[in-house]
Amino acid sequence: MNIGFLDFPGHLNDLHSLIPGNAIPLSTLINDHTLLPYYRPYITPERYNNVTKDMIFGNGQSIYMKMGLAASSVKQLYYLRYCPACIEEDRIKYGAAYWHRYHQITGVNVCSVHNCYLQTSHVSYAQRRNKHEFVMLESVLNSRSHRFDYSENDLELLIAQQSEALLKMNYQAINAVAIRKVYFGRMSQMGLLTAKGHIRFQDLLPKFESLCGAIYLKEQGCSIDKNSQYTWLHKMLRKPRHGVHPLRHILLQLYLGIEVKEILQEKYVSAELPFGEGPWPCLNRGSEHFEERTIPTARITRDYESGNPVGTFSCGCGFVYSRRGPDIKNEDLYRIGRIKHFGPKWTEKLIELNDNKNLGLRERARQLGVDAGTVKRQTNLLKPGKKVEVREISKLDKVYSLKIHNNKKIVTNIRVRVDWRKRDEFLAEEVSRVATEIKKSGKIKVSRNEIGRILKCSTMIRTKLDKLPLTKEKLKEVTYKE
């Protein structure tokens, strides 16, 4: 045993050639008898290949630096460790106890099988003299008594189990950008991202420290300064530039409720932003590009009551929809919360279906992706003298058209005359709804300014109230005197 380089022993080709009949392949020596598989998911394939070459043909002295982990402050072990319960099982099964690889992993304090605290031997993990000395565990145990101290800390057992899983499964490399997106997707689900996708570190840091424990983090060289903006968590979650020790990934994954195998199986939505990365699909069932990704940008706001992000998606065909986030499953990409504008394509499809006397109301609604009541309302608006329903009260009604110029699609907005009567009716209902929601929250008083802010029509209320008599009366009815 090469005590000086236990993690990444060198000269493995020489060792391989000395084994009678070359009975143990080089791949087995590396994958089953070193700690390299523990680090493999978090280093690039290129680095992994360079490290394996150095272990096979070199001396392994600079491997830690080659993996980009030299600057890590994670503390390394000083002495080899063993599990008292494993000793008894090894003796029964093999006739002698042996050093277990995963007992030597940084951050692992208990045996993943027995949940028993690991005992420290007097054998130096990185002794400088006799570095090629073969030290059997049995020779260390002869004069020592064994203590069986069992952990009552669930986190310690989880760290041990996840560390051993990394070691034994020999996972392929996980792209640093991809795993960061998975972390962001999970943080979004936990409410740790702003509407624009920025991390709420003021919430993350204390919660993370509370889970792991300040003492444990300090012992492992992973302390968190909650008042700093340059902790290892900040650096790890920003755009990846340096190697990150697997222990730090494990700690963050345990906090986020993620396992490496689930990342590789793409179980989690990989989203830096609450609704993933664009372009987004148009969900207009009246268009020929239904479910095609034709929407390049999304407008993200925050729900007033819940604080959850709300995404608004506008297609060039005039169809505009929104939904509350964050997206949790990949199927959420095709979910509509509310239709804000139907657009001319959808209306044309409505007219076409209405002309087909063989189709019932429910079938028309199914084909249009709405309920029967919506079909009735929108059909009623098509009658002579009716105007298109106002949905986004903070803007003038718009008709969207698509033009081709120099082989590029250009969406142009044509303003049309506003139906103030219809807008007044709609806005009066919205004022009543919002006032009721504010009262239920009990957080702030119902005021004209607050209603205008939520409905995003403060300017309209201030300058156009003479054109909105129903809204004016409703505001008087629901608000306090200012």
- For the chain, the first-to-last Cα distance in angstroms comes to 82
Dist CA 444 CA 304 (whole Å):
12
| pLDDT tens, position by position, 179-210 | 888 888 888 878 888 877 789 999 999 999 99
**132-165 pLDDT, tens digit each:** 677 889 888 865 556 777 877 889 999 999 999 9
pLDDT at 131 over 70: no
In whole angstroms, give the CA distance from residue 68 to residue 310: 39
Q: 279: pLDDT confidence band, cut at 50, 70 and 90?
A: confident
**Reported confidence tier of residue 306, pLDDT bands at 50, 70, 90:** low
Residues contacting residue 65 through CB under 8 Å, at least 6 positions apart? none
Q: What CA dihedral angle connects 157, 224, 196 and 331, to 10 degrees?
A: -10
Question: Between the CA of residue 18 and those of 21, 22, 23, 30, 249, what are the distances in Å?
Answer: 8, 7, 10, 16, 38
pLDDT of res. 404 = 37
Please give the Cα distance from 372 to 463 (Å, whole number): 37
- Whole-number pLDDT of residue 390: 38
Query: Residue 334: its pLDDT value, please?
Result: 92
pLDDT of residue 417: 56
Task: Return the pLDDT at 10.
Answer: 85
Q: What's the pLDDT band for 394 if we cut at 50, 70, 90?
A: very low
Report the distance separating Cα 416 and Cα 193, nearest Å: 39
What does the pLDDT look like over 435-474, one tens digit per residue? Answer: 888 888 777 888 888 888 888 888 888 888 888 888 888 8
pTM of the complete model:
0.58
Lowest mean pLDDT among 67-81, 240-254, 357-371: 67-81
Q: Which of helix, strand or coil describes residue 376?
A: helix
pLDDT in tens, 249-275: 999 999 998 887 777 665 554 444 678
Exposure string for 111-130, b = 16+ CB within 10 A, e = fewer: bbbbbbbbbebebbbeeeee
Average pLDDT of the chain?
A: 82
pLDDT of residue 418 exceeding 90, the answer is no
Q: Residue 318: pLDDT above 80? A: yes
Quote the pLDDT of residue 400. Answer: 39
